[in-house]
Structure 1
Amino acid sequence: MSSKILEQFLQTNLSDLKEKGLYNEIDSLESANGPVIQIKGQELINLSSNNYLGLATNPELQAAAIEAIKSWGVGAGAVRTINGTLRLHDELEEKLAAFKGTEAVISYQSGFNCNMAAISAVMDKNDAILSDELNHASIIDGCRLSKAKIIRFNHSDMDDLRQKAKEATESGLYHKVMVITDGVFSMDGDIAKLPEIAEIAETYDLITYVDDAHGSGVLGKGAGTVKHFGLQDKIDFQMGTLSKAIGVVGGYVAGKQQLIDWLKVRSRPFLFSTAVTPADAVAATKAIELMMASTDLNEQLWENGDYLKKGLKELGFDIGKSETPITPCIIGDEKTTQQFSRRLYEEGVYAKSIVFPTVPRGTGRVRNMPTAAHTKEMLDKAIRIYEKIGKEMGVI
């Protein structure tokens, strides 16, 4: 017999989430995750994917993955430290290091794994971590796992960071102090103030860690936020994913050779989880090669992002302060936000509502992610539908 206490807990809390408009319904796609998707037989313009450059369905990546499966099988067969490191993983890491402009790279099974792995491999209960209050959940969990003292600073508030860095380093309580931030904040699309962060870090000898999940492939002609600011020599950890702009799956940390050597012997997801598949490793390598060979996709992404922003802003939508193609339409009330997203769906646009706890209460938004694969016709249609629903619901 199942636990009655568990049953009561689940029923009560699921009902509460649904009542407050905080329960997320998951839609299963019946097509590839491209600029247009199919759900329950309906074609929709897809504005919810992280597939920034459209590489998830790129024919060259598909062909490379198929050949890898034929030659290397469908799985790596072991953890990296036993005999799961294939030559393909080495080639991926070498290509990433060249792309990011660092001495070395270690790759993991996901971006979330990177933050769980790398932070706790270096920081411990004797240390402190200065963390931006809007950092991604994986950063928060990675910090917690390390058992270090977590000191939150106000979002992109450099005066607050400086004050807290001074207090932490001069207190004598901590062996090491790290400052950690997203490169691009995924809910608002704003960019971390990395030059100021690097300057503060240099003043107080802080370890620097940038989670560039939404900056890699987007900023710095694709090489990321750190490259965008020319700070490769100032940032200790550059973390990135292979599942967003790269279009595949996995994650990596780029940095000095000694750091990568340490992570290979002390980061637990690397030590205790099977390596990414041969197909994933080869496809990700091919994506990096394409990005290094041409910036065309990156430029198309920015053109489409600017086009959608302009169209929505002119209609009167609150698109916040995004500095990247990420384009939030901030509605506010959670239930209204979810209703707005449902109406978009009914009219042919797939743009998911984002509500608490992903964003603060009262700041619900529909987040739009234009990609390099969208055509102007698709974006024009989406803007027209936004106008219709916005006027219908009194949002604009």
Structure 2
Amino acid sequence: MRGELLGGRYRLGERLGGGGMGEVWAAEDVRMRRAVAAKLVDAVPGRYGDQVERRFVHEVRSAANLPHRHTVTVHDCGEDVVAGRRTLYLVMEHVDGRDLRAVFHSGPRPAWHEVADWAGQIGSALVAAHAHGILHRDIKPQNAMLTGEGVVKVLDFGLAKILRESLRLGELTAGGTALGTLPYMSPEQCRGDRGIDHRTDLYSLGCLLYEGFTGRPPFTNPAPHALLRQQLYEAPRPLTARNAPGVPPGIADLVASLLAKDPAHRPPDAATVVARLRAELPDPGPGPGPQPRTAAADEAAAELLRRTEREAGELRARVERDVRRVREQAAEDVAAARATARRMLDEAQANAIGLLEHAKERADALLRETEKDAVRLLDEARARADRLASAPARPQP
């Protein structure tokens, strides 16, 4: 189905997942040029098809009027023929992140306060939905997406009810048919009771909390009939320091009350659950203060550390290159200075030798001239002496 165009507007990309409620595909809104997600559900065949579509569109529009920080925004819905089958589709915002099932079961187990914080966010979405008379009926880790900013988005809000009512209108299921995901279904939902209320979502939220704390849902029997019996009649193993390290007693008591078989013994509403969860979370202290860590925050911190180490390594290499270049330049400068000094010394020595030779030559010339003068004076003195000796003696008076 990749490449098909829904409603002349939404181009299907990769298949993201699937289940009893249909398939989810990545898609592009070619008109708005934005990434979206499209949920595809096979339409009911037969004479009730038009009524099913009208009811589906009506219910989806009702769910779309539930803007909340922790719910996925619904953009559009409709019906089209996909791969030769009449298909109902729901177009919603594309959420980047990991569902809580992947968070719970890949890597180290998250800290209890992270799980409690995520459940509190889901509970906030339930408060808004229940106030509009919308039940989710399929709260489970796979339907809670954790974004990179640590925000939980609840997927498929109201879709279980939408599909159940649509199918009932098509008379394809008898009244009392149970829809949902068995490991997270409340006892009244397992029985297919009519008139179930918001407390069925609280039971499912308790199952999600239990799995986040222990690494497994409260009941895990692989046989569906045995698992159904457990949901109806058996009590889950209590949360202890061994199977749920660090979980405060107040949180353990809250989970036990959420998993009560009788809805009357559960907390009265989602707001009460959120308040009790927040009351147990670590106090961030005055001001903005540090908040409880989340898996997304840990990943962001790890990425920041990796980026810092990478940048530090690059800076270290750059500094080492610069130091090496400075040292090489300094060595070249020293060698040049030494060569210049040696050349200047050689030139000074040559000049000194030249001056000495010149001085010697001048001294020799002066000596020769002095000797000549001395010889001349001596000769003149001898000649005068000879003249005096040969002159006649003067008579005495």
Normalising TM by the smaller chain, what interval? Answer: under 0.3
Which of 1 and 2 has greater Rg? 2
In terms of fraction of residues, the more helix-rich structure is 2
TM-score norm. by structure 2 comes to 0.25
TM-score scaled by structure 1?
A: 0.25
